Amino acid sequence: MATNYVLVDFENVQPDCLAALATGQFRVKVFVGAAQAKGRISFELSHSMQMLGANAEYVKIARTGKNAVDMHIAYYVGRLLEKEPAAVIHIVSKDTDFDPLIEYLRAKGSTCKRVKSIAEVPKHSAPRPVAPVAKGAIKHPPHVTTTHVPSPRRPHAEKLAPIIKHLHSLSGKPATSKKLTQTIATYFKQHGGALGDKTVALILDELVRLKYVSQDGTKVSYHLS
C-alpha cells in the first residue's frame, strides 16, 4: 500500500495545526530553516506534532542560504522515491519553484503534488488499506491475482531531482558541458558527498536523455520549465 509523505516547507507555509493528518496514514516532515529554528513555533503546531507521535518529525536545516530549505526537501523527495517508488509525496508550499521538479517526477511515473495548505493534503492522498473480511462474513467470489513486478530502479533518481532543482534556481547557468560537469560535481560535494567522475558524467547524460539539457558541441542549453 502506498505511503503518504507530507513535506512541509515551514519557511513558506506556517500551519498552526496538523489535525487534518491525524488519521494515521500520513508521515509528516516539517522542514524548519536555520533562522526560523531560533524563533518560536506555536503551541498548537507543537501539540499536533506530538499527537502524531512517530509519524511526524521536524527537520532542522543547519545553515542559512538561498533555497536551503527547498534543496533539503528536493533531496528528501529523491531519497523517499528511491526507497519507495510507489510513495505519494505531498509538498506543502506556495513556492512554484517546486513545480518543474514535480512535473519531472510525474512524467517518470511518480505521484508527487504541491499543495498550499495542510487542509488540501487529504483530498490528494492515497486511500487507506481495506480492512480484512471478518470470519463468517460474506466474501466476494475468488478472482485471479497477478504477481506484482516492482519497477526497475531509476538510475540516479535520487540525484537527478535535486540537481534539476538546483539548476532551475541558478540565474547564471553553466554555458558549456565542462562547466556544467563542474557545477554538478560541486553541488554534490556540498550536499551529501563528492561523486566520482563516471557518476557525474552519467548524471549529465541522463539530463540530456530526458531533454532537460541539450548539447551543441561543447555548449549546453536548458529546458527546465
What are the pLDDT digits (tens) for 48-101? 888 888 888 988 887 777 778 888 999 999 999 999 999 999 999 998 989 999
Cell of 41: 513555533
Q: What is the pLDDT of residues 117-169, one digit of tens each?
A: 988 888 877 665 444 545 555 555 445 444 444 444 444 556 777 888 888 88
For the domain that residue 14 is a member of, what is the CATH number?
3.40.50
**Amino acid identity, position 118:** I
Whether residue 160 is contained in a domain is answered as no
At residue 7 the predicted structure's pLDDT band, cuts being 50, 70 and 90, is: very high
**Residue 29's CB: how many other CB atoms inside 10 A?**
18
In terms of domains, do 106 and 9 share one? Answer: yes
In terms of domains, do 118 and 175 share one? Answer: no
Query: Is pLDDT larger for residue 220 or for residue 151?
Result: 220
Whether residue 131 is contained in a domain is answered as no
* Phi then psi dihedrals of residue 5, to 5 deg: -110, 130
In terms of domains, do 117 and 193 share one? Answer: no
Whether residue 140 is contained in a domain is answered as no
**Amino acid identity, position 188:** F
Whether residue 25 is contained in a domain is answered as yes
Whether residue 75 is contained in a domain is answered as yes
User: Assign residue 19 a region: left if phi > 0, alpha if psi is -120 to 50, beta otherwise?
Assistant: alpha
In terms of domains, do 30 and 117 share one? Answer: yes
End residue of a domain, out of 91, 124, 157 = 124
Cell of 169: 534556481
Whether residue 161 is contained in a domain is answered as no
Residue span of the structural domain in which 49 resides: 4-124
Whether residue 138 is contained in a domain is answered as no
In terms of domains, do 110 and 191 share one? Answer: no
Residues in the chain: 225
In terms of domains, do 114 and 206 share one? Answer: no
In terms of domains, do 90 and 195 share one? Answer: no
pLDDT at 207: 84
In terms of domains, do 118 and 25 share one? Answer: yes
Which residues are bridge partners to 176 per DSSP?
219
pLDDT at 77: 93
Whether residue 164 is contained in a domain is answered as no
In terms of domains, do 35 and 89 share one? Answer: yes
End residue of a domain, out of 94, 124, 154 = 124
Percent of the chain with pLDDT over 70: 82
C-alpha to C-alpha distance for 158 and 192, rounded to whole angstroms = 11
| Number of domains composing the chain | 2
**pTM score over 0.85:** no
Pairing of strands 219-222, 213-216: antiparallel
In terms of domains, do 13 and 117 share one? Answer: yes
Q: What is the pLDDT of residues 164-214, one digit of tens each?
A: 888 888 888 999 999 999 999 999 888 878 888 888 888 888 888 878 889
In terms of domains, do 118 and 8 share one? Answer: yes
